[in-house]
Every structure is written in structure tokens, then in C-alpha cells.
Structure 1
Amino acid sequence: MEARLRKMVRERARERCEYCNLSQDDSALSFHIEHIIPKQHGGQTALENLALACPNCNLHKGPNLTGYDPDTGKICTLFHPRQHEWGDHFERYQGRISGTTAMGRTTVWLLEMNREEQQNLRLD
């Protein structure tokens, strides 16, 4: 991936994970440029299919496009940073993120956003 494209993704995300909102400044690990729709599912290396993700979110998301809603057990699509507004599906209280929709709950659960170390890093 060319440096110019990486820079554009990072600037658009304001150096924050587009899933859990962790700031790159609050993490000792470098954030990843991830394919929202993975290459193995036909996703392209194009600006509209790339997101900045902290290592925790990216590694837990992997190639998944869906997961199980922990409240209903039904299959649900994951949050897509280019198609959905973060505030429509999540809310944050201190370092904890809650899903306010099935998509939000599924994404929080699958990406394990509320692991203790993640919550502690997100505290302001």
C-alpha cells in the first residue's frame, strides 16, 4: 500500500481507531490500516474500503463481516466505518463502549472492545 494512501486514511480518522475510538497517542502499538471488507471477500485496497484500526480491534475483527448479536443470538453485520455513523450504533461512558443497536452490540462483542486494558487506554 502506498504511503500517500496510508496518510490519507490516518488523517481522515484523526489518528483514532475507527471502531473503538482509541487514540493512537494513547497506545504504544502502531495502528493498522485495515480492509473493512477483507481482500479474501473481494475488498479492494481503496480509500473507501480502508479504516484505521487499533491492533485489538483489527486482530479480533479478522476477516469477519458478521457476528452474533450477544442479546438475541441472531447473525448481524458488523459496523462499517464508511457506511455507518459511529454515534448511531455506539455510546461511550468513560472507557466503556456500549452498542446501542444490534450492529453495535455485535461489533463490541466480536472486537472485544471492552477488555480491561482497552477501557483503561480510552479513559480521558
Structure 2
Amino acid sequence: MNPNYTLVANRANHRCEYCYAPELVFNFPFEVEHIIPLSRQGKDTNENLALACRSCNLRKSNRISGIDSESNTEVRLFHPRLDQWKEHFQADATSGIIIGMTSIGRTTVSSLEMNSQPQVTARLLWIRLGIFP
């Protein structure tokens, strides 16, 4: 396990800092990932670490940006240390879909495939259990 896991997980309230999935429903700890990957000159510091579920971490990979569907321009992805989740995303309690409210939100939702069928199905269950958002 990453030696920074406890610090990062506590700071994130044990939620994926991208899709907001609650760690408590998984049978293994979430991953500590570099917001700006080391391969892109990110630093190995606590300020550059985020808690990510396996799905978001795999899909983010070493990306830091994507294409916004509305403006068709390159936009940086959500940055958990700089951005507030509720300013960029909204969860629809009926459909389980995460809506990107800004260009950063839309690009992150799309790039990390936050509304894939397995994610939405799980999210609807979490909503019914009262543990999301």
C-alpha cells in the first residue's frame, strides 16, 4: 500500500476525488495517484496526490487534459487540490448520472467515463443507500 494512503484517504474523506465514489463499499482501498503525473513533470508531494477509485485512475492514466464537448477545445482535467467538486459536477439523483457543470467538469466526466453503465448502476445503489453524494 502507498505510504501516503492514510493521509490522502483521510483528506479525501475516503471518496474518489474524481467521481466521488465512496470507498467504504469496495472490498479494497482506493489508489493514491499523482494529479499531475510524474511523467508530465508532476511532483511527488502530498499536494499532488489524490485518492482515486480504480476506474478513474485507470482512465485518467497520465492525462492532464481532454477535449470539452461543447467548445471542442482542450481543457485541463479536474484538479482536486485546486478545484471544488460541487462547482464542476452535479449528480442527478434520479438517473445516477454525473453532469459536468463547467468545461473542466464536462471534460473530466467524458475523459474518465464517469457515466459508464457500471458506474451509473453502482451510483444509483449508493444513492438509495444514502452514501452518495
Q: Smaller-chain TM-score range?
A: over 0.9
Aligned equivalents of 2:68, 2:2: Cα separation in 1: 36
Q: Secondary structure in 1 aligned to 2:20?
A: coil
How big is the shift at 1:29? Answer: 4.7
Which amino acid is the alignment partner of residue 74 of structure 1?
T
After TM superposition, the runs of 4+ consecutive aligned structure 1 residues lying more than 4 A away are none
Aligned equivalents of 2:88, 2:49: Cα separation in 1: 19
CA shift in 2, pair 1:26/1:120, >3 Å: farther
- Paired-residue identity, %: 43
Aligned equivalents of 2:6, 2:100: Cα separation in 1: 29
Q: Secondary structure in 2 aligned to 1:14?
A: coil
How big is the shift at 1:120? Answer: 1.8
How big is the shift at 1:41? Answer: 1.0
Q: Which runs of 5+ in 2 are unaligned?
A: 128-133
Residue matched to 1:22: 21
CA shift in 2, pair 1:92/1:53, >3 Å: same
Whether the 8 Å CA contact 2:2–2:32 is kept in 1: the answer is no
Q: Which runs of 5+ in 1 are unaligned?
A: none
1:82 aligns to 2:81 (yes or no): yes
* TM-score, L = length of structure 2: 0.86
Q: Please provide the CA RMSD for this pair.
A: 1.4
Whether the 8 Å CA contact 1:91–1:99 is kept in 2: the answer is yes
Count of matched residue pairs:
123
Aligned equivalents of 1:67, 1:99: Cα separation in 2: 13
Aligned equivalents of 1:115, 1:29: Cα separation in 2: 21
More deviation, 21-30/75-84: 21-30
Whether the 8 Å CA contact 1:70–1:105 is kept in 2: the answer is yes
Whether the 8 Å CA contact 2:88–2:100 is kept in 1: the answer is yes
Aligned equivalents of 1:118, 1:36: Cα separation in 2: 21
How big is the shift at 1:27? Answer: 2.6
Whether the 8 Å CA contact 1:27–1:121 is kept in 2: the answer is no
